[in-house]
Amino acid sequence: MMMTNPKSLVLFLMASLTWHPVCGAEDAPKPHECRFTDMPITIDGKADDKAWESAEIIDKFSLPWLGKDARPSKTATKARLLWDLDNLYFFGEMTDSDLYADVTEHDGDTWNNDVFELFFKPADNKPGYYEFQVNAKNTVFDMFLPRRGHVARFRRAQEFHLESKVVLDGTLNNWTDRDKGWSVEGKIPWRDFIKTGGRPAIDEVWKFVLCRYDYCIDFETPDLSWCSPKSSKPGADFHRWEDYADLKFIGPEKSQARRPFGIDKLEPLTTSKVIGSPEPPAPFRTRVAFPKLKLNQPVFGSHVPGSDWLLAGQQSKATLIRFKDNPDVESFDTLLELSDTIIYNATFHPKFAENGFLYIGSTGLATPGFVPESAERFKEFKEKSVRITRYRMDPKTFEFDPKSATIILEWESNGHSGADCVFGNDGMLYVTTGDGTSDSDLIETGQGMDHLLSKLLRIDVDHPDPGKTYSVPKDNPFVGMKGARPETWAYGFRNPWRVTCDRKTGDIWVGNNGQDLWEQTYRVERGANYGWSVMEGSHVFYADRKHGPTPFVKPTTEHSHSEARSLTGGVVYHGEKLPELRGAYIYGDHSTGKIWGVKHDGKKVTYHRELVDTMFHITHFCLDSHGELLVVDHQGGDKGNMYYLEPTPESEIANFKTQMAFPQKLSESGLFASVKGHTMQPGVIPYSVNAPLWSDGAHKARWMAIPHDPDRKDPPIDITVNRGWNVPDNTVLVKSFALDSEAGKADTRRWIETRFLVKQQGEWVGYSYEW
C-alpha cells in the first residue's frame, strides 16, 4: 500500500483507548503454504486449471490493528498461491457489491481503487521487500523497496514482468447496480525477485501478507483487510512487515499439485542396435599404464632422470608422490605435501645427475612478505601467487629433501596461472604465466610488457645476479626495451597450460587455453606476440584494446570449441613404439578427451591428425623411463591414472569396414516396432520437455531408449549434483519432426526427419535420418 485515501479513510482513536494486540508471540500461527506444481497454469482470471485444486485457501482476512475492536473484513476474500521453477502464481477471489476502479496507469495510485495486494519479504536478514497490486481494471503496481520509508524514490525504479488477468462479475464504476465480485489471477517470474536471491529453496519461509481494499457506496470508508492475524501497533500499515504472516514453500515431494508422470515399470529394451559409431575406429587407442595404482586427481607426471622412478602431483591433497615405472606397481611414496596449494609440474635440471635440482610450479596463497609488482593493478591478488620453487633430490639415492625449497620466481595471479616450466636445450628455464584473471583478461595484461603475466619467460638459473635467484639472458628479445620486462621471450598468452622442449630440434611448444570459442597450440618464436586479448588465436576478441609492441602471430594449430574446450599442451615424441608419431607434438583436451598429433618442419605444419577420442580429463602428457608417451587422466576418487597410446589393431579396422554395425536406416536401429507407423518398441519411453523450442510449425515427438543391462544394480537414470540426468552409455534420445502439408490438418502430416542423440563414452553424439 502506498498511502491511504484522505477522502475515504478515517481512523478515530480515542486518547483513553488502550491498545490490545490481537495475536501475541505465544500464539505462533502455522505458516501458510505455497505449494509446488509442475502442471500448466493459464493466466485467465478463472483459476480453473487442475493445479489450483491442491493450493491452500487463504480466506481469513481481518482488521487486527483495531485492537479489541478487531473484526473480520466486511466482504469475503479467498486467495491461493502456487509456485514452480519459473514463477510465483497468485489468485484472489473477492465478493464485491460495487466494483470500482479508474486508475489505468502502470504504477499509478491503484490503492484508491478496489485492489488486491501482495507483499513479500524473502529474508529476515535483508531489509528489502516487494509490493504488488492489481486493481479491478487489471492495472498493475509493482515495486521493490530496499528498505522501508523510500516509496517515492523506488516507485518506478525496477522493471517487473508480472502478468495478470481480471474477471468481473458485474459492471465496473456503476454504483447504481449491485455487483457480485471480481477475481484476479497472475504470475510473477522468479527473476523479478533477483535482488533478494530469486527463487526460494524448498521449505524456505518468507514473510508475506495479502491485502484487500474494497471501496463500496455502502461503506463510509473503504474496507481494508489482510490475511495476517497480527498487528503490533494501532493503525493500518501494510509496510509493517514485522506483522506479516509466514509463507512456507512446499517442495515437489510434499505437494499434491503435480502432473501424473513416470512409468510403473521399465520394460527392458533388448532390441537396440544403436551401438558404437558410424565413424571408423581412431588410428590409436589407449591402455592403462598402472592398473593396480590408485591415483586421486593426478595433475602431472615426470620421469626422474637416471632411474625407474616416476613423479606425479595429486591435486586432492596437494601432494608430490613417487612410484616405480612398473605395470604391477600398487603403491606410492609421498615426498611433499603442501597446504592451500596446487602443484602443477616438476621439471629436472639438465645437470640433475650433478646438482640434484628439480623445479616445481605451484599456485596458492602468496608467501609471507610477497609484494605484487603493481599494487594498484593487482591489489585484489595480493593474497594469491604462483611460484617456481627449486628443491633438491639426491641423484644417487633419489631421496627428496622437502626442506631444501628455494623460491626462484613468484608472481601474482587470481587464475589463468600458467605455472609450468621446462629447460630448453640452451640450458635456460622457460616459464609460462597466464593473464592472472579468471575471465576475459579483466585487467588487460595480455598485451602489457611491464609485468610478468601472459608471457613465456626465459631465465638463467645457473648464473644468478648478485642477491637474486636468476639472471636474464642477454639475448632475450626485449632486453633494453623501455618499460618491458627483460625476462619475456614471447607474450600474448591467455593461459599457457603446458610447455615442452623438443629435445632433438630445441623447439619450444606451448598449449594455450582459449576463452569463448578457440583453443591453440604454438611452436613458439622468439619475441612473438600471440595476440591475447586483442585476439583469441587467429580471431578478433577485443579489437579496441591496446596492442603490444610487435605484430600478432597466428597459432600453429587451432581448434574450435566443437572439438576442444580446455586444451592441454603436450610433449614431442621420439620413442620407439609409435613410429608414425616420431617427431610429433602430442597434445589433447581436458574437456573432450581428444588427442592430436602435429609435426612441423620449421616452416610449416606437415602432419596434423586426431589420434584418439578418450573419456579422460587430460591434464598432462609426459614420457616414461623408456621415452614412451604417457597421458595423465585427472579423475578423482582414486580413479585417476596414466595411459599409453598404442595403434588400433588392423583387425578392428577391417571388421568395421566389413560389418558397418551402426544402423544406416531407422528400421535397423531396433528402436521402432514399425517405422511406417512411427511406433516404438515397448521399452522406448516417450517424454516431453518443459520449454520446447520454436520450430516454425513443425510437430515433434520424443523418446528415450535406455539399453537393458541385466547386471546393472544401480538405477538406469540418476540425478547428478547439478540436477542433470545421468544415463548409461548407448542411451539414445530420439526426436522426430513432422510437417503438415496443409497447415492445421493433421491428416496431411508426414514425418521428415528423425534425430538420434547417442551417449558414447560419456559424450553425446548426434546423428540424423531423413525420411
Domains of the chain: 32-250 (2.60.40.1190), 666-770 (no CATH)
C-alpha 73/C-alpha 176 separation (Å) is 23
Band of residue 9 on the pLDDT scale cut at 50, 70, 90: very low
| Position 368 pLDDT exceeds 50 | yes
Note the pLDDT of residue 264: 65
pLDDT tens digits, one per residue of 531-590 = 999 999 999 999 999 999 999 999 999 999 999 999 999 999 999 999 999 999 999 999
- Of 721 and 682, the structure prediction assigns the larger pLDDT to 682
Note the pLDDT of residue 11: 28
Band of residue 744 on the pLDDT scale cut at 50, 70, 90: low
| Position 722 pLDDT exceeds 70 | no
Residues 6+ apart with CB under 8 A from 696: none
Residues 6+ apart with CB under 8 A from 617: 590, 591, 593, 633, 634, 635
Note the pLDDT of residue 212: 95
| Position 118 pLDDT exceeds 90 | yes
Question: For the chain, how many helices (H) and strands (E)?
Answer: 3, 46
Q: Single out the residue of 580, 571, 661 nearest to residue 621, CA to CA.
A: 571
Strand residues in 371-514 grouped as ranges (E):
384-393, 400-412, 421-423, 429-432, 455-459, 488-491, 495-501, 508-513
Note the pLDDT of residue 151: 74
Band of residue 46 on the pLDDT scale cut at 50, 70, 90: very high
pLDDT tens digits, one per residue of 329-360 = 999 999 999 888 899 999 999 999 999 999 99
Count CB-CB contacts under 10 A for residue 714.
9
Band of residue 3 on the pLDDT scale cut at 50, 70, 90: very low
- The pLDDT > 90 percentage for the chain reads 66
| Position 7 pLDDT exceeds 70 | no
Most confident of 19-23, 59-63, 739-743: 59-63
pTM above 0.85, yes or no: no
Mean pLDDT of 478-484: 95
pLDDT tens digits, one per residue of 395-428 = 999 999 999 999 999 988 888 889 999 999 999 9
pLDDT tens digits, one per residue of 236-267 = 888 888 899 999 999 886 665 555 556 667 78
Asked if 347 contacts 422 with a C-beta cutoff of 8 angstroms, the reply is yes
Asked if 305 contacts 352 with a C-beta cutoff of 8 angstroms, the reply is yes
Count CB-CB contacts under 10 A for residue 602.
8
Instruction: Kindly state the cell numbers that stand for 41.
Output: 497454469
C-alpha 182/C-alpha 172 separation (Å) is 10
Sheet of 357-365, strand order: 341-348, 357-365, 384-393, 400-412
Band of residue 444 on the pLDDT scale cut at 50, 70, 90: confident
Which residues is 435 bridged to in the sheet? none
Q: Single out the residue of 753, 760, 735 nearest to residue 671, CA to CA.
A: 735
Asked if 344 contacts 390 with a C-beta cutoff of 8 angstroms, the reply is no
Q: Which residue has the cell 558414447?
A: 760
| Position 97 pLDDT exceeds 90 | yes
Q: Which residue has the cell 501458510?
A: 32
Note the pLDDT of residue 262: 62
Note the pLDDT of residue 1: 37
Looking at every residue in the chain, the average pLDDT score rounds to: 88
Full 3-state SS string of 427-456: CCEEEECCCCCCCCCCCCCCCCCCCCCCEE
pLDDT tens digits, one per residue of 684-713 = 988 877 777 777 778 888 999 988 888 776
Asked if 94 contacts 117 with a C-beta cutoff of 8 angstroms, the reply is no
Q: Which of these ranges, 78-82, 230-234, 675-679, has the smallest mean pLDDT?
A: 230-234
Note the pLDDT of residue 430: 98
Band of residue 367 on the pLDDT scale cut at 50, 70, 90: confident
Asked if 583 contacts 574 with a C-beta cutoff of 8 angstroms, the reply is yes
Peptide bond into 533 cis (omega under 30): yes
* Longest pairwise C-alpha distance within the chain: 108
- The pLDDT > 70 percentage for the chain reads 91
Q: Single out the residue of 564, 493, 344, 642 nearest to residue 508, CA to CA.
A: 493
Interstrand relation of 32-36 and 77-83 (parallel, antiparallel or unpaired): parallel
pLDDT tens digits, one per residue of 134-193 = 999 999 999 999 877 767 777 887 889 999 999 999 999 999 999 999 999 999 999 899
